[in-house]
Each structure stands twice: as C-alpha cells, then as structure tokens.
Amino acid sequence: MCARQKTVLIGVTGCIAAYKSCEIVRAFQKRGVRAKVVMTEHATEFVGPTTFRALTREPVAVGLFDEPGSPIHHISLAQEADLMLIAPCTANVIAKLAQGICDDLLTTTALATKAPLVIAPAMNVNMYEHAATQRNMQILRERGCHFIEPDEGFLACGDTGKGRLADIGEIVDACLEILEVEQDMAGLNVLVTAGPTQEPIDTVRCITNHSSGKMGYAIAEAAAARGAQVHLISGPVSIPEPQGVQVHRVTTAQQMLEASQELVDGCDIVVCTAAVCDFRPAAPASRKLKKGDGTSELEHIELVQNPDILATLASCEGRRAIVGFAAETDDVVEYAKGKLASKRADLIVANDVSEGKVFGSERNEVWLVTAEGEEHVPEMDKVHLADVVLDKTLSLYDLKMA
Ligand code: C5P
C-alpha cells in the first residue's frame, strides 16, 4: 500500500443490507481507496467474513481477540483508518455508539478512532423513526458524526417508508468528500507498464534487471486514487498489487508489448516505467543448457533486439499523452531529450542510475524533460514523486487535447 492511499474502515452490522457492503468495498477500491472491513457477530449471519477477506485481500476481524498477532487489534484498526464508515448501521449499533458502549470489535474501534465517523443507517421504518433512534442520532451528530440518511421505499421486512440503505454512490461520494480525495483524473484511462522483463535463455535461466517496479506501482496507485481507470502491465516483481488497479502480469518484453497493444486503444495516458530488457536470446532452449568446456551454448548466446514498447504505443492511432522514463548514468538530461524525440513521447522522466542509485530504492531525484525544456525535481519518495509526474502529465494531456 502506498503512503498516499487513504484507508476506509468499513463497519458492517447485522442487517439484511449487509450484502451491499460488498459493493461499497468495490466502489472504494475503484476510486483508489483501500478498504478494510470489521464486522459485528450479527453481520456474519448475513455475509461471511470470507467474502470480505476475498474482496479486500485484508484480514477481516469480528471478535475483539480474533487477531492473535495483534492483542490490541481495535487500536491498530482505529489508527490505520483515515475514515470509519458503518454501513449498514443498525439501530442497536447507533444506540451503543451514542452511549459509548464498546462490547465488540466494531464499537470498540469506533470509540478508539480519531478518524471521521460516517454512519449509513438501514433498518425498519418504525425503528428508524423511533424517538430513541432519532435521539441517539442527534447525540452522535452533535459529536461530529456524519449521517447519510436512508432512502424511502419498500423495506425487506415488508413495510414501506424510510429505512433503506442510501444509494452506494451517495455513500462513497460523501466519504470521498470528507477524505478530500482529489479526483482530477476521473474519467481518464491510464495504462502503466512497470517492473523488469525476463527473457528466457533456457528453461531455468533468464536475462533480466534489478527494477523493483516501485515507481510504476506508485504511479498506477496514485492515478487510481485520483479517479482514473488504471491498467497496470507488470513484469515479475515482488511488491503488493495496488488496490483499485487492474493488474496484468507478463514476463517477457514481447508479452508486455502485446498486452499494451491490446489496451492502448481508448487510453488517454500511457506511462512506461518498465525496465524492458533491450535484448532477448534469439532461440531460448527448451531444456536446461549445460555448462561445458568452452563449446557450451551458454557461452555464446545469440541476442536479438526487443521491440520498443513506448515507441510502438506512441505511434498508435489516437491522441493521448505518452510518458517514458530514462535511466542514465551520465548526461542524463541530454540523453532524455534524445529519447523524447526518437520515441515521440510528450514527457521523459529522467533519472541518474549511476553508482547503483534508484533501482529498488524508495526515493528518486528526476528531471522532467519535455519539448519546452526540463524541470528538476529534488529527491523525494516515489509515492510523492508519482503525483508530481502525474501533475505534469495532466497538464501536457490538457494542452494536447485543447
Ligand atoms: O531506450 P530506453 O530503454 O532508455 O528507454 C526507456 C523508456 O522506454 C522507458 O520509459 C521504458 O519503459 C521504455 N521502453 C520500452 N520498451 C523498450 C525499451 C524501453 O517501452 N523495449
């Protein structure tokens, strides 16, 4: 998870609308927000924790002592959350929160968190309109809690009236507004290539490089957090997949090219951060080659040049902003200018990789090279650098589309 990405802790309580929490999780993920779930015991009667575990790829706790690794789980959950949303929230949980009762993990976490608390009630109309519930909601409002009013309509119990869980889009939008998640890339389709490629020599050996994929993953995650639809085409890396991003795993440059070509149509922005191997063995062996006495095939591997993915995508039909990266050990800016022209990119993010810098590191210092000139970006962590690169990319995109 990148440091910039916001975390919403979704509390699910025992109500027929609990199944809608699955869609709420998905909606947050699509907007680049990390979703974690905590449930009441009653909620598990409606949806199992396994469902939320699969959707969030995070642990889902119900009881106060469910997480053996964390005896004070409610505190870690409370601290992790940038916002806590309880949706659907029952009259019972509203009453407990109003009175400060914390007899399970969800209510204890809600009391322990300093994050904004958003409640989307869902219940029978009579329970909702009951003076006790209305009073409890008033108490919580006075404490700064945000409510998302339920809708009116046909209720699961057969009654008609106010009590249906509010529209999922409305709930998520309200939370994003409180979180101040900037959505300046909403509606844009972004394609990012990341990581190294591996070019097989034989069935066990390959040519590759030290790229960690961190820069590309940070860009993909930042673009998703800013509202873009993101496809991340990733070579083999060992870092976690960003949430809210569609990840396509590939191994070789040829596969990366094919995956990119399939997706480029309809893309507004292409960011090639991948450290694509420039060459690949011409004829990878279908068995393990043996080391020998000087006549071994391993000593003379014939190489052929790989396709340039960035240049290929830049020449595809359609108008889009094309961003490339250039890792150089000397004359960083000069080489980047050459690449800008030869690859027909709109922006080259150039960095100095001399003396083992950058690869695998959390930080980077770059130059943003465009047709207008170059801007130096001082060293910063890749998470924040991702936003700087996207800011520049967006301004170039706007110019190109104007
Ligand atoms: O030519 P060079 O490898 O230095 O160019 C780096 C830029 O071009 C990066 O953005 C990289 O992702 C992209 N590239 C590519 N396909 C290649 C080689 C580089 O997309 N075969």
Q: Of ligand 1's atoms, which has the minimum distance to the CA of residue 277?
A: 21
Q: Looking at this protein, which amino acid is placed at residue 335?
A: Y
CATH of the domain at 130: 3.40.50.1950
Q: Which of 179, 197, 218 is the last residue in one of the domains?
A: 179
Q: Is the CB of 350 under 6 A from ligand 1?
A: no
274 lines ligand 1 (CB under 6 A): yes
Between the CA of 339 and the centroid of ligand 1 the distance, in Å, is 9
Active site residues: 157
* Mutation pick for ligand 1 pocket among 191, 271, 272 (CB with most ligand atoms within 8 Å): 272
Query: What is the distance between the alpha carbons of residues 141 and 352, in angstroms, rounded to a whole number?
Result: 53
Q: How far is the CA of 345 from the centre of ligand 1 (A)?
A: 11
61 and 115 inside one domain: yes
The atom number, within ligand 1, closest to the CA of 274 reads: 12
> Within this chain, do residues 204 and 164 fall inside the same structural domain, yes or no?
no
Structural domain boundaries enclosing 315:
189-284+297-401
Residue 301 alpha carbon to ligand 1 centre in Å: 22
Q: Does residue 39 line the site of ligand 1, with CB under 6 A?
A: no
Q: Is the CB of 346 under 6 A from ligand 1?
A: no
Residues 128 and 236 reside in one and the same domain: no
Residue 237 and residue 278 in one domain: yes
In a domain, residue 356? The reply is: yes
Q: How far apart are CA 330 and CA 49, in angstroms?
A: 53
Pick from 309, 342, 344, 359 the residue to mutate for probing ligand 1's pocket: most ligand atoms within 8 Å of its CB: 309
Give the pLDDT confidence score for residue 1 in this predicted structure.
42
Minimum CA distance residue for ligand 1 atom 5: 326
Q: What is the 255 CA–ligand 1 centroid distance (Å)?
A: 15
With beta carbons less than 8 A apart as the criterion, state whether 290 and 203 touch: no
DSSP string, 276-294: --SEEESS--SSPPPP-SS
pLDDT tens, the chain, 402 aa long: 444 678 999 999 999 999 999 999 999 988 888 899 999 999 999 999 999 999 998 889 888 877 656 657 778 888 899 999 999 999 999 999 999 999 999 999 999 999 999 999 999 999 999 999 999 999 999 999 999 999 998 888 788 889 999 999 999 999 999 998 778 998 999 999 999 999 999 999 999 998 999 999 999 999 998 889 999 999 999 999 887 899 999 999 999 999 999 999 999 999 999 999 999 999 999 999 888 766 677 888 999 999 999 999 999 999 999 999 998 888 999 999 999 999 999 999 999 887 766 566 778 889 999 999 999 999 888 888 999 999 999 999 999 898
Q: Is the CB of 219 within 6 Å of ligand 1?
A: no
Q: What integer pLDDT is reported at residue 358 of this predicted model?
A: 55
169 and 203 within one domain: no
In this structure, the answer to whether residues 50 and 131 fall within a common structural domain is yes
Tell me: do 171 and 201 sit in the same domain: no
Q: What CATH number did the domain enclosing 240 receive?
A: 3.40.50.10300
Task: Report DSSP state, residue 242.
Answer: P
Count of domains for the chain: 2
Q: Show Cβ contacts of residue 113 under 8 Å, excluding neighbours closer than 6 positions.
A: 9, 77, 78, 79, 81, 84
Name the residue with the closest Cα to ligand 1, atom 4: 326
**What is d(CA 321, CA 367) in angstroms, rounded to the nearest whole number?**
18
Strands 83-89, 117-121: pairing is parallel
Mark whether 171 and 212 lie in a shared domain: no
- Among 179, 206, 230, identify where a domain stops: 179
Amino acid at 2: C
Using CA of residue 305, residue 311, residue 317, residue 321, what is the dihedral sign? positive
Q: How many CB atoms lie within 10 A of CB 291?
A: 8
- Burial code (b: 16+ CB inside 10 Å, e: under 16) for 352-368 equals bbeeebbbeeeebebbb
Ligand 1 atom nearest the C-alpha of 348 is: 10
**Does 150 fall in a domain?**
yes
Q: Is 276 in the pocket of ligand 1 (CB under 6 A)?
A: yes
Query: Do 231 and 172 sit in the same domain of this protein?
Result: no
Task: Indicate whether 228 and 159 sit together in one domain.
Answer: no
Measured CA angle at 230 (ends 226, 233), to 5 deg: 140
Residue 242 within any structural domain of the chain: yes
Q: Is 11 in the pocket of ligand 1 (CB under 6 A)?
A: no
pTM tops 0.85, yes or no: no
Say yes or no: 210 and 338 in one domain: yes
* Ligand 1 neighbour 89 (Cβ under 6 A): no
